[in-house]
Each structure stands twice: as C-alpha cells, then as structure tokens.
Amino acid sequence: MNGMGHGLADTNPVVVAAFRDLLLHQGLVVAVLVLVAILAMLVRAASASRGTPPDGTGEPGTPAREPLGRTVLRISFGLLWLVDGVLQAQPAMPLGLPDQVVQPAAAGSPGWVRQLTEYGTTIWSQHPVTAAAATVWIQLGIGLLLLTAPRGRWSRLAGVTSVAWALTVWVFGEAFGGLLAPGVSWLFGAPGAALLYCVAGALLALPERAWRGPRLGRAVLAGTGALFVVMALVQAWPGRGFWQGGSAAAAPGPLTAMVRDMSQTPQPGALARLLSAFASLDAAHGWAVNLVLVGWLAMVGVGLASGRKALLLPSVVGAGVLCLADWVLVQDTGLFGGVGTDPNSMLPLAVLIAVGYLALTRPPAAVAADPSGEPEPATEQRSRALLGVTTAAAVFAVVLVGAAPMALASRDSRADSLLSEAVNGNPGRLDLPAAGFDLVDQRGHPVSLSDLRGKVVALTFLDPVCTSDCPLIAQQMRRAAEILGARAASRTVFVAIVANPVYRGEAFVQAFDAEEQLAGWANWLFLTGDLSHLEQAWNAYGIQVETVSAGGMVAHSETAFVVDASGHLRAEMGSDLGEDNATASSFATLLADEMRNVMAS
Amino acid sequence: VTASGTTGALGAGLAVGLLVAVLAGCAGTAGPGAPVRPATVAPLTSSASNAAASWVTVPMGHLDDPLNTFWQVLVRPAASSQWRLVTPPGVADNGGLVLSAPAGSQAVVGFRASQVLAFSPLAATVDLGRSYTPQLVPAALAAVPDALAAGTVGDAAALVDDGAEVMTARGDPTGAIGFRWQRDVSLSALAASAGPGCGLTRLSAVAVTADATYIGGSCRRAGRVAIVEQVAGGNHLVPVVLPSGAAEDQVDVVRLAAAGDKVSALLALHGANGSAFAAAWSSPGGASWAVSGELPARARLVSTSTTAQTGFAVLTSSPDGALAVAVCEPGQQAWAQLPAPPQGTVAIAVADRRVDALAVDPTRVVDFVLAAGGATWSRSQVITVPIPFGSSQ
C-alpha cells in the first residue's frame, strides 16, 4: 500500500538467489579457465622435469630463483586476494556493501570524498549482483594470477592489476582509507588496507632487478617506519578522544566505542568475549592504553626507519606483535558479520614489513651458471614459454570474467530490474481482457480504454495529493518511456487513474502534472472522473483505496499493469519503489522491459 | 621554488586569505538599518474563535519525527461544551495545517506541502467540519498560521513560497467553482509599494475583508509597522502609530485577523529593553488604528489565538518551562494575565464566556476549561486521536 515503505534486507532472497545463479554460471566459465591453467602448468612441470628449471624471467642476468622477499610478498598477497574474493561471495554482499561498508567508511570525510564514494555506490546499487560477482572474480583472479605466475611479465602484470583494482577499492570503497576523516587512526585501519595492497602490487610490478641488493627492503622498512611514526603522532594528538577511555560520566572514547561495537558483531563467542574484555580495559584505563600504543608505534617506527641492523629485528617483531594484537582486539579480524570484505589492514601491513626485512637481509643468490653448459633447445624454450603464457592468460581471463560485465554495467544508467522484483515480487504474466473505464483526462477530454487500442498501455493508480510515492512513480513511468526510446512513443501510452476519493478533481491532476512537469508529455494521461466511475475502475483492477483518518495519506494499492494493443491485460506488477534511487529506477527498467516484451509479442 | 620564495608565497596567501576573511566579515555585518535579529514568527499551533465556534490546530504523534507528526483540527461550537476532531481527510498533513475561520460555521484548512508534494491542498467547510470540499492553492503555503485567509464572500489570499509571494483568489470556496488563484504580488513589489520609509523585509500574514487584502510583515525601519492594505486603487501602508515609548522599536507583524471590515494585528516589538507583544485594531475601513499596551515577551512563544472579540491571546513559556497566558481584547490597553495553564498546554482558545487550554500527548487531546472570571482550570474532556503512525513513510 502507498505510504508503507519497503526496504530491501541485505539477504533479500530474490537478490541472493540471483547472486548465486550468476556466480554459478560465471563459475562454470572460471572452472574451464582454471582447468586450462592447471593442465598447462602440469604439462610445463613435466617438461621442466626433463630440462632446466622453468622459472626464468627472460631478463638477462637475473638469478635462477625468485628473490625470497618477492616470493613471500607474492604468495601472501595472492592468498589475501583469494580470501577477499571468497568473502565477497557472501550472500549479503550485493545489497549490504554500499550501506554497511562503503557509506560508514566515508562518513566524516569531506564532501568531495563522499561524492566519489557515492559515484561508486550508485553504480553498485543499480547493478548489485553484477558488481558483487565481478568483485569476486576480479579478486580471485588477481590472487590466482599472483600464485601461478611467479616471475616474468605475467607476474608483473599481476602486480599492475593488483595496483589498479586496489586503487579502485581504496578510492571508491574505503574513501581513501578514512585518511581525510576526523577519526583517522592506525588502529581502525588507516591508511587503508587497499592502499597496502596497492603498495604490494607496485612492488611486484617492479622489474626483478629492483629486488637485487638491500635498497628495496630498506625503502620498504623506511616507508612503513615513517607511517608508524606519523600514526603515533596522530594517535597522541589531544582532543581526539583516544586518551579518555570510557568513564561512566562521559561518552566512551572512539577506541572503546569501536571495540564495543565490534564485539556485538556475530562471531565466535570466545572472540566476542576477548573484544569485550579489551573494551572494558580501555574504558577503565584509556589513558594508559593509548600511552602504551603511542609509545609502541613510535618505537617501532623509529626502529624501522632507522635502518640500523641492531634495531631492525626487534622492530619487525614488535611491529608484527602490535599488528596481530590490533587485528584481533580492535579490527576483529574483519572477517565476520556477513559483510566483511577483507582481513583489514593489519595482516597486509605485517606482511609488507616482513617482506621489507627479508629483502634487506636476504638478497637473492648470485646467478648460477648452468652446470650442463649446454643451452636449452629453442623449441623446448618456446613450448614452455607458450605453456606459461597459456597458464597466465587463462588465469587473467578469470579477472576479465568479472571486469567485463562490470565495465558494461557501469556504462548502463538503468538500474537492474531485479531490484524491483526483489521489492515487489515477479511480475504476473496474464492474458485476459482488460477491464474498461470511462474517465476524463487532465485536459477534460473523455478517455476510455477502447480509445487506447493499438497502443501498449502502462496503467497505474496514483493519488494526486500524495506526499511520498505517487509523484516518484509518475517520474519512473516517464523514465520507462525514455528507456523505450522515441521510436516506441507512437506505440505506447502511460496512464494513471486517480486513487483518491476526496481530492480527485481535474484541478488536482493538473496541479500534480504541473508539480511533476508532466503537463508537456504527450504520452501521459492522468485520468479522473466522478467517484462512481473511479470506484468502478478501482474494483475492476483490484485496487484498494482507503481514506485514513487523523491526517493520514490516502492508502492505495501500488500496482501497475501492462495492457497490449488489443486491450488484453498482459502483466501485473507491484509499483512500490522501495527506499532508494536504485530500487525506484529499477521499476522503470522492469516496466520498460515488460512493455517491450508485449510490443514484441 | 626557493625557501624564501615559498615563504613569500605563503605570506601573500595568508594576506589574501586575511583580506577575504575581513571582507567576508564586513559583508556579514549588518549595515545601518539592517535587521540584526531574528523575526518573531508565530508557531503553526494556533486557535481562532468567532461567535459561532472555536477552532484549533495542533500537532500530535511523535513531534521529533516529522513523518510521524500529524496535525489535527478540533472545533467546539459556541453552543457546545465538547470539542470534536474534524481533521479533513484525504491528504497527509505532516507538513502542518493552517486554518482560516472567517465567520459562522465556515472554515478553510490549508495543508502545508511536505515531502515531495509541492502545492497545498485545501479543505473548505460550511458546517463546522462535518464535511469538506476539496480545494487547492497551486503553490506551497508559508509556515505561518495566517498563510491562508478566507473572506466571507469567497475571496481569499495565501502567502506562498516561504513568504515570497501573495496569491489571491476570487470564487466560491464551498461550491463547485472553487477558488481561482492568481499570483498577485511579490515581496519585492510590496516592498516598493511600502516605500523606503518601511523597507519591507519579509511577509508573515494575510487577512481578507470584503474590500481589501491586508498583508503583514516586518519593516527594516524602526517604529514602522508593516501592514500593507491592498485595494483596487493600489497598495499602501496602513497608518499604525506606535506609542512614543515604542517609536524606536523594530516591529514584526505576528498575526493578522479580519472580522467584517475591521482588521486586527498582533505585533512583536523589539526595543532596547527587550521584546514585547502588542495588539492593534483598525477602525471600520481601516482609516485609523488603536494600539494596546505592551506585554513583555517571555522566552518562547508557544502558540497564538484570535479571540471571539477579535482580540489576541498568547501562550508563552519561560526558560524553566512555566506557561503563561495573556489576553488582550479590543479597546483594552492592558493585557489580562490568566491563571497559568496546565503543563502540556499547547493552545488556548478564547471564546465569549470561557477559555480552553488544550494539552496534547502523542495520541490524546486533553481540554481544560477556565470559566469566565475563574481562577482555576478544570479538566473537561479527553479526546483520543487515532494517529496513523507510519502511514507517511
């Protein structure tokens, strides 16, 4: 009924089923690609067992083995991307991510940051299933590519792809990691997990010669050290609440509040109790907790940035312990609640620090001379290279399985019709004579259904003095006409019949049209008449209209019909627009689709 | 860029920023004669009494949630001791109601636009709210109780678009023809008519008599009362002369009311010694005006009322929440203080022989009565209202 809004739950069964179906269908393609990759790898491995090791980079003078730091970085982030991809497949992701992940992340950030994230969430909200499935495959694809392409151009491409996607996530999903929001804190994930993925990707995209010698490791440690020092200063800055804990007299500080919130997330009981205990500790001793934290961050930061060998190992261990503690006690691992998108920032940060240490202290071995002294035959070289390319290309295609539909969706301003079906249920397909009516239009001209023969009619019932949905439904009908295009204009007409027993005169439909700027739309008819004729139409189409006392809006059924050119009722669909622009716009898409189907038949 | 260059650029930037800030500050400071205080605006909660009936409009429901705040109209015929709920049906009234009760059993209720509705439906009655005829203003009524004024012969005026424009109508509000509205005059046009001697800055009320439309507002110039009389010959400022003690006060017209060919106004005076209310009444035809004594204003204006004698009552609340009611009838110099009304009172209705105080909770209206000359309020009636929570979402 009009005036009774319907929001979509994150686990709306229609959307969840569609998400599973899409994942299944795309998963079949992915399975074929992965099978191809595995076969190519097996053949290549068999070939390698007969000849030289298969991990040459093609770069002259490079070591026979991948540098240890790079291996750790590649495999760790490959696994992280895989975990992220799997998390993205959670049923609540299509509908839950914009409201529960992106918008909270952007809250408090400057307006232009929120606008950027809104751009992303608008695309996501209009195509939630496509976007969520795309994210699954892009992240799984990057993870697989990192794991299966150890060296060479494809491995570096994996790094570049990782950078590109991580940057997208950092800007549109994490609102720059919250760096521009007033509550920024290392504890809560600043500078953003995706930025750390981006750094890792950039390191992997470097030519392998960059990993020779200690320079890269020193730079990584200096960079992370500087980050720790800056974050220590931010954490120590007075007036941000981190020193106050959560005394009964005042509102809890941000750390206590955050940990308390996280402890309420559905998760294993032991973890929830651990978080509650830490929240209580911070509430009681907030000043001491922050002092320890600031001191630890500063010491670790200085140690890492100093580059002194004596300080490095303790600093790396100290950083690892601090990251692990924060990951569990504050960030709650980032995996629970149904819309956890990644294990948050602490694991990638710890990996980066470890990799920096390995790159500094365990540079790759010198190039080993081929003991046989005989060059590998060119044909074998070529066939093995071809198999390597096949593996990598097949895995990279997994990324494209997600990226291609998402690119198409982002260019489509129409919301997915699935959303309207999630709100209203599937349209009912009918084939029976439509009930006639004898009414007058907004210009005072008599109109009956038979006058509209030869045109496909979109018919609905609207209250001209409605304060909520009716004007929006009229706008979506106009949007449906735009979707159908100018060529369909001569074959369609959009009709509303007044659904208010009191405010039903021509003056009201004219005022409605003026308010909604519909007066100039030639394909629009807003019909009214005396009460008996209106009631006849309401009854014929099963529309309930009820006057609500004490200042309430007239309640009426929100239903739309499609009548074909011969006067047969062909579809009946709910016209509840839901609670956001995406579900509203989805109604226009669905109505246009139904009308197009009727025209085609 | 060298270090000194950077410093120079920083210095220049700071200087420019400072200059901009100073200029912005100057622009924001009121110049001579500019209004520097917020105008006194009458809350929509109000009542109107005439010889035939008392009408009251009150908000109910969850007042902190606009979509669950529903405005109600109650009427008490002069011959009855009981109030009736007569909220007109057919439109969500979350945006508020304004009511004009010109005479007898007639009244016109205006729905303020809310959510996506951009015009104001009306409901006209000639039988004390037993039935209504739907009408409309093709624009949004302003958020003041006198945004709508209906005359006894079918003329009407409406203050619309947040007080930027006045629309007038000719027609039969209760018959089949209905009001035929036209955009009549804008604030800027009225300001030109009122002249620089007033410096009209805002519009706040309209009233209609058989011969003229009256439009109230605020003058920038001290000591001037912004009531513009609109007659066939043009618009002109009416000659309201304030007492000498108020000659330097800035004046807001808070309410306007018409009865027959007389007009009355509730004024808010803002002077060096604080704010006060005063009432003003025209002679028949509006040739001359009488002004009452002043009523010192308390912290908050809760509601206003027009009395059956074409006087005014104001219900105010002090900072500690204590309520007070004062009434001023035509011909009286002094405001009469009534006994403090019961807590929760949101509206006062002053009829010929009794005064009602109406208190509301989310779903009930409780009426307390003060008999003529009485000293205590007695509980008279409780009306339970079926508030349609959730119906506007």
Chain B residue closest to A516 (CA)?
Answer: B118
CB-CB: which of A511, A552, A554 is closest to B119? Answer: A511
Q: Do the chains contact at B391 and A3, CB–CB below 8 Å?
A: yes
pLDDT, position A64: 63
Is residue B125 within 8 Å of B105, Cβ to Cβ? yes
Of residues B314 and A60, more confidently modeled = B314
Q: Is the pLDDT of residue B44 over 60?
A: yes
Chain A residue closest to B94 (CA)?
Answer: A551
- Candidates B190, B189, B245; CA nearest to B222 is B245
Our CA-based measurement puts residue B389 at a distance from the nearest CA of chain A, in whole angstroms, of 8
Query: In the beta sheet, which residues pair with residue B41?
Result: none
pLDDT, position A63: 55
- Candidates B138, B386, B131, B58; CA nearest to A552 is B386
- What's the token pair of residue A358? 């390995």
One-letter amino acid of A427:
P
Residues of B in contact with A545 (CB under 8 A): none
Query: In the beta sheet, which residues pair with residue B277?
Result: B268, B295
CB-CB: which of B70, B90, B385 is closest to A465? Answer: B90
Q: Do the chains contact at A503 and B178, CB–CB below 8 Å?
A: no
Is residue B206 within 8 Å of B149, Cβ to Cβ? yes
- Candidates A9, A542, A5; CA nearest to B391 is A5
Residues of B in contact with A505 (CB under 8 A): 134, 178
Mutate to test the interface with B, among A528, A549, A581 (most CBs of B within 10 A): A549
Our CA-based measurement puts residue A508 at a distance from the nearest CA of chain B, in whole angstroms, of 7
CA angle at B201 for the pair B198 and B203, rounded to the nearest 5°: 105
CA–CA separation, B195 and B202 (whole Å)? 14
Whether residue B72 lies within 8 A of chain A, CB to CB, comes out as yes
Chain A residue closest to B180 (CA)?
Answer: A507
pLDDT, position B8: 43
Residues of B in contact with A514 (CB under 8 A): 119, 138
Q: How many CB atoms lie within 10 A of CB A448?
A: 12
Residues of A in contact with B94 (CB under 8 A): 467, 551
Q: Give the pLDDT means over successive 10-residue stretches in chain A (601 positions).
A: 59 94 95 90 76 48 75 96 96 93 90 92 93 96 92 89 95 92 89 95 92 90 95 91 74 87 88 91 90 94 90 93 93 84 93 94 66 63 79 87 89 89 92 96 96 97 95 96 95 97 96 95 96 97 96 95 97 92 94 96 84
Contacts of B337 (CB under 8 A, 6+ apart): B324, B325, B326
CA–CA separation, A516 and A582 (whole Å)? 20
Mutate to test the interface with B, among A442, A468, A518, A580 (most CBs of B within 10 A): A468
Chain A residue closest to B114 (CA)?
Answer: A467
| DSSP-derived 3-state class of residue B315 | strand
Our CA-based measurement puts residue A465 at a distance from the nearest CA of chain B, in whole angstroms, of 6
- Candidates A424, A425, A449, A442; CA nearest to A563 is A449
| DSSP-derived 3-state class of residue B83 | coil
What single string gives the DSSP state of each residue in B61-116?
Answer: E-TTSGGGEEEEEEEEETT-S--EE-PPSSS--TT-EEEE--STT-EEEEEPP-TT
- Candidates A235, A230, A229, A342; CA nearest to A291 is A235
CB-CB: which of A468, A502, A550 is closest to B116? Answer: A468
Mutate to test the interface with A, among B117, B122, B132 (most CBs of A within 10 A): B117
Phi, psi of B201 (to 5 degrees): -110, -25
Which of A4-8, B84-88, B150-154, B264-268 is predicted with the least confidence, judged by mean pLDDT? Answer: A4-8
Q: Do the chains contact at A465 and B121, CB–CB below 8 Å?
A: yes
Residues of A numbered 542-561 whose beta carbons fall under 8 angstroms of chain B's beta carbons: which are they? 547-555
Chain A residue closest to B179 (CA)?
Answer: A507
Our CA-based measurement puts residue A535 at a distance from the nearest CA of chain B, in whole angstroms, of 16
Q: Do the chains contact at A471 and B116, CB–CB below 8 Å?
A: yes
Q: Residues B210-247: pLDDT tens digits?
A: 889 999 999 999 999 999 999 887 889 998 999 888 99
Element counts in chain B: helices (H) and strands (E): 2, 29
pLDDT, position A80: 97
Mutate to test the interface with B, among A2, A516, A553 (most CBs of B within 10 A): A553
What single string gives the DSSP state of each residue in A487-500?
Answer: GGGGGEEEEEEE--
Q: Do the chains contact at A547 and B94, CB–CB below 8 Å?
A: no
Residues of A numbered 431-470 whose beta carbons fall under 8 angstroms of chain B's beta carbons: which are they? 465-468
Chain B residue closest to A515 (CA)?
Answer: B118
Q: Do the chains contact at A552 and B392, CB–CB below 8 Å?
A: yes
- Residue reference for tokens 């994930």: A189
- By residue count, chain B amounts to 393
pLDDT, position A482: 96
Q: Is the pLDDT of residue B178 over 90?
A: no
Chain A residue closest to B133 (CA)?
Answer: A502
Check residue B115 and give left, alpha or beta (phi > 0: left; psi -120 to 50: alpha): left
Average pLDDT score, chain B: 88
CA–CA separation, A93 and A339 (whole Å)? 6
C-alpha distances in Å from residue B102, one per residue of A195, B260, B261, B311: 69, 9, 12, 14
DSSP code of A398? H
Q: Do the chains contact at A548 and B138, CB–CB below 8 Å?
A: no
Residues of B in contact with A472 (CB under 8 A): 116
pLDDT, position A65: 79
CA–CA separation, B61 and A549 (whole Å)? 13
Is the link from the previous residue into A191 a cis peptide, with omega within 30 of 0?
yes
- For the segment B36-45, the average pLDDT, to the nearest whole number, is 85
One-letter amino acid of B71:
W
Whether residue B179 lies within 8 A of chain A, CB to CB, comes out as no
pLDDT, position B170: 80
Whether residue B126 lies within 8 A of chain A, CB to CB, comes out as no
Our CA-based measurement puts residue A1 at a distance from the nearest CA of chain B, in whole angstroms, of 9
Whether residue A338 lies within 8 A of chain B, CB to CB, comes out as no
Whether residue A499 lies within 8 A of chain B, CB to CB, comes out as no
pLDDT, position B172: 62
Which of A200-209, B167-176, B271-280 is predicted with the least confidence, judged by mean pLDDT? Answer: B167-176
Helix axes A469-484, A506-515, angle to 10 degrees: 60
Residues of A numbered 467-486 whose beta carbons fall under 8 angstroms of chain B's beta carbons: which are they? 467-468, 471-472
Strand arrangement of the beta sheet that strand B300-306 belongs to = B84-85, B69-77, B53-61, B46-49, B300-306, B312-317, B323-328, B336-338
Q: Do the chains contact at B90 and A467, CB–CB below 8 Å?
A: no
Residues of A in contact with B138 (CB under 8 A): 511, 514
CB-CB: which of A468, A472, A503 is closest to B121? Answer: A503
Whether residue B96 lies within 8 A of chain A, CB to CB, comes out as no
- For the segment B297-323, the average pLDDT, to the nearest whole number, is 93
Whether residue A530 lies within 8 A of chain B, CB to CB, comes out as no
pLDDT, position A389: 84
Q: Do the chains contact at B87 and A511, CB–CB below 8 Å?
A: no
Alpha helix segments (H runs only) across A109-192 = 111-126, 128-148, 152-168
Instruction: Please state whether beta strands A456-462 and A492-498 pair in parallel, antiparallel, or not at all (unpaired).
Output: parallel
pLDDT, position A537: 97
C-alpha distances in Å from residue A159, one per residue of A40, A456, B30: 22, 53, 61
Residues of A in contact with B390 (CB under 8 A): 3-4
CA–CA separation, B378 and A332 (whole Å)? 61
Q: Do the chains contact at B85 and A550, CB–CB below 8 Å?
A: yes
Is residue A197 within 8 Å of A166, Cβ to Cβ? yes
Q: How many CB pairs under 8 A join A and B?
A: 104
Mutate to test the interface with B, among A465, A517, A576 (most CBs of B within 10 A): A465
- For the segment B345-355, the average pLDDT, to the nearest whole number, is 94
| DSSP-derived 3-state class of residue B119 | coil
Whether residue B93 lies within 8 A of chain A, CB to CB, comes out as yes
Q: Based on the number of CB atoms within 10 Å of its own CB, is A362 exposed (0-12), middle (13-18) or buried (19 or more)?
A: middle
pLDDT, position A110: 93
Whether residue A581 lies within 8 A of chain B, CB to CB, comes out as no
Q: Do the chains contact at A501 and B90, CB–CB below 8 Å?
A: yes
Q: Is the pLDDT of residue B2 over 50?
A: no
Helix axes A111-126, A581-600, angle to 10 degrees: 30
